[in-house]
Amino acid sequence: MPSMGNLDAKLLNKSAIGATFLMMGQIFTKIFTFILNQLLLRYISSNVFGITSFIEFLISCSLFYSREGIRLACQRINKNDQIKKNDEKNQIYDNTFIGTIQKIINLSYIPIIIGLPISIILLSSQLNIWNYKFHNISFILIWGSIILELILEPFYNLNQFELNFKIRTKIESISLIIKCILQFSCFIYFNKKSNGKLDNGCYVLSFVIGQFFYSLTNFSLYLLNYKYHKKYKENTIFLKKIFQNNNDNDNDNNDNNFFYFDKKAIEYWKNILIQLLFKYLLTEGDKFIINYLCSIDEQGIFALINNYGSLITRLIFAPIEETLRLYLTKLFSSDQQQHYLQLQKKNLLINILNLLIKFYLYLSFFILIFAPPNTKFLLELIVGKNWSSEFFIKTFKIYWLYLPFLSINGIMEAIFYSLADDSIEILNYSKYMILTSVIFIFNSIVLIKFFNLSIVGLIIANIINMLLRIVYCFKFLSKFINDKDMNLLSNLLLNDSNNFYCTISAIIIYLIHSMVIKNTQVSNFTDFVKSSILGFTLLCIFLIIERKLIIEKILPKKKIS
């Protein structure tokens, strides 16, 4: 029988490979979509970009409220590899592999049930704000896209439960490429048909068509993947009763001893549901606020800043956060009744957190030192001078300061959602999220309306919001690992001499960059080359300082194999 250490190492290795697949898939698709989007941005206005961004937000809002809680709950189901085929009554039993798979399928119907009314109410109440051409057909395609995304949930959750990131990356990459090609093709078609005088509704319809076929491709490929898995052949894709394990002599009594939904998973879903709602409000609340407090043009500008500024988040941070959450949930699923970690798992968690914070710290140095000075030059090169107004550039520079807080909050909340199993702890965090929501809304209104900071005020309110959430999650982690004085957590940053040396190096490079680049603003290709050389120099310094750690993490497999 494999040891706990071997199982943990195997799970960690599978999660690390999964994170790599997600990252590579994100990079490939983002490069492809990035090129097509640049071509479109040269033709569309900030007004149109604001409308399509808000439609995309409504879709993600409907889907998040409907399915996110169930996705997390499915990961809480304990995997059982016991093979027991259905009996002559074609009944499925608990504590078997087939029963585990059916639990996930059954749970995945909850998003469909609650998603239908949510999507209709949300779309009908918001999309009537704008009267643009092809409004009705756009509405139907948007709702169809949401429905397709909801009915593929059983297939998606099964794939996630198996940690099969390779399949997910392939499916989502293909779907995204099809979406972008269709959007671009429709735009070119409508633009040519209107002799260059393209109505805003035509662009919105082009976007919606691409979105619909993205969802359709996702659904089709996940369905095919499910059909080709022979290990699911004993299961049904429809809701089905799951019977408790019965004794052969007591079959009649157990015919009524069944359930549809796993009780533990449902309890977890109920506990985190309100919390997730407030998390989404805080994460995406800026879009709610900007919709009511800012003009359509400002919405378009913020959408573009958010798209470009969060590119690093989507390419690197998001795959790491998701993989970390799935890995820790699986790792500690057998210890869910305990409040403190076993020594072995506690050390493993601290080591992982140490590596992540170190990586995020160093990456933050690059963002803060090199991103703001290069913003104006790169934006004019990429999207043209139409988008390079002084307000746009100034706001973008402030946004860079927000990314480090966003990234650290991401990994801390991933840890919280993986480890928090006590209903009281989850309820406390839900109350805390309500409080931070109120603070965020108050700060946003004050900074935007009374200080006239517009989008900059929204970014500052978000930074304060992230800080509050990071503090709570750090306190929770300290309690979880029984570190009352938070010595272990402080050691992650303060007692690592390499962190100190890298920080000093970053400060020196920053000072040199300020002296070499005139007015600390890259304005031509020569300045860009100088900035790039300094960036490469800092990277080499980091690699030299952390050479022992890099060698240790890259070459340990030789000893094992």
Per residue in 238-276, pLDDT (tens digit) is 889 888 875 544 555 555 688 899 888 898 898 888 778
Write down the pLDDT at residue 507: 96
Lookup: tokens for 388: 């390079």
- Which distant-in-sequence residues (6+ apart) come within 8 Å of 58 by Cβ? 122, 123, 126, 127, 142
Residues 502 and 382 in one domain: no
Q: Are strands 242-243 and 92-93 parallel, antiparallel or unpaired?
A: parallel
Above 70 in pLDDT, residue 117?
yes
In a domain, 19, yes or no: no
Residues 195 and 251 in one domain: yes
Residues 341 and 489 in one domain: yes
- Over the Cα atoms of the chain, what is R_g? 25
Q: For the chain, how are helix, strand and coil distributed in percent, rounded to 5?
A: 80, 0, 20
Structural domain boundaries enclosing 263: 48-274
DSSP code, position 450: I
In a domain, 12, yes or no: no
Q: Give the mean model confidence (pLDDT) for residues 114-143.
A: 83
Write down the pLDDT at residue 368: 93
Residues 81 and 228 in one domain: yes
Q: How far apart are CA 387 and CA 380, in angstroms?
A: 7
In a domain, 4, yes or no: no
Q: How far apart are CA 373 and CA 521, in angstroms?
A: 5
Nearest of 141, 124, 152 to residue 179 by alpha carbon? 141
In a domain, 204, yes or no: yes
Amino acid at 555: L
Lookup: tokens for 98: 């087939």
- Of 445, 475, 495, at which residue does a domain stop? 495
Q: How far apart are CA 421 and CA 465, in angstroms?
A: 24
In a domain, 14, yes or no: no
Residues 205 and 88 in one domain: yes
Residues 339 and 468 in one domain: yes
* Residue 480: exposure state from Cβ atoms within 10 A (0-12, 13-18, ≥19): buried
Stretch (H or E) spanning 264: helix 263-293
Quote the mean pLDDT of the chain: 81
Higher pLDDT, 57 or 315: 57
Q: How far apart are CA 422 and CA 400, in angstroms?
A: 36
Nearest of 281, 22, 132 to residue 142 by alpha carbon? 132
Total tally of structural domains belonging to the chain: 3
Which range has the worst mean pLDDT, 137-146, 149-158, 477-486? 477-486
Residues 468 and 416 in one domain: yes
Lookup: tokens for 215: 């969802």
Alpha-carbon distances of 370 from 243, 253, 307, 533, rounded to whole Å:
60, 70, 19, 11
Amino acid at 142: I
Above 90 in pLDDT, residue 508?
yes
In a domain, 352, yes or no: yes
Nearest of 73, 119, 322, 75 to residue 215 by alpha carbon? 119
Write down the pLDDT at residue 107: 94
pLDDT tens digit string along 31-82?
666 666 666 666 676 677 777 878 888 898 899 989 999 998 888 887 766 6
- Of 242, 274, 306, at which residue does a domain stop? 274
Residues 165 and 92 in one domain: yes
Within 10 angstroms of residue 86's Cβ, the number of other Cβ atoms is 14
Amino acid at 302: F
Residues 482 and 527 in one domain: no
The answer to whether 127 and 55 are in contact (CB under 8 A) is yes
pLDDT tens digit string along 329-368?
777 765 444 544 466 777 788 888 888 888 989 999 999 9
In a domain, 11, yes or no: no
Q: How far apart are the first and last CA of the chain?
A: 19
Write down the pLDDT at residue 339: 45
- Of 452, 478, 495, at which residue does a domain stop? 495
Percent of the chain with pLDDT over 70: 79
Residues 475 and 417 in one domain: yes
Higher pLDDT, 149 or 131: 149
Residues 195 and 235 in one domain: yes
In a domain, 384, yes or no: yes
Write down the pLDDT at residue 1: 42
Q: Give the mean model confidence (pLDDT) for residues 469-491.
A: 75
Alpha-carbon distances of 543 from 181, 351, 509, 515, 550, rounded to whole Å:
39, 19, 15, 24, 8
Residues 463 and 390 in one domain: yes
* Residue 178: exposure state from Cβ atoms within 10 A (0-12, 13-18, ≥19): middle
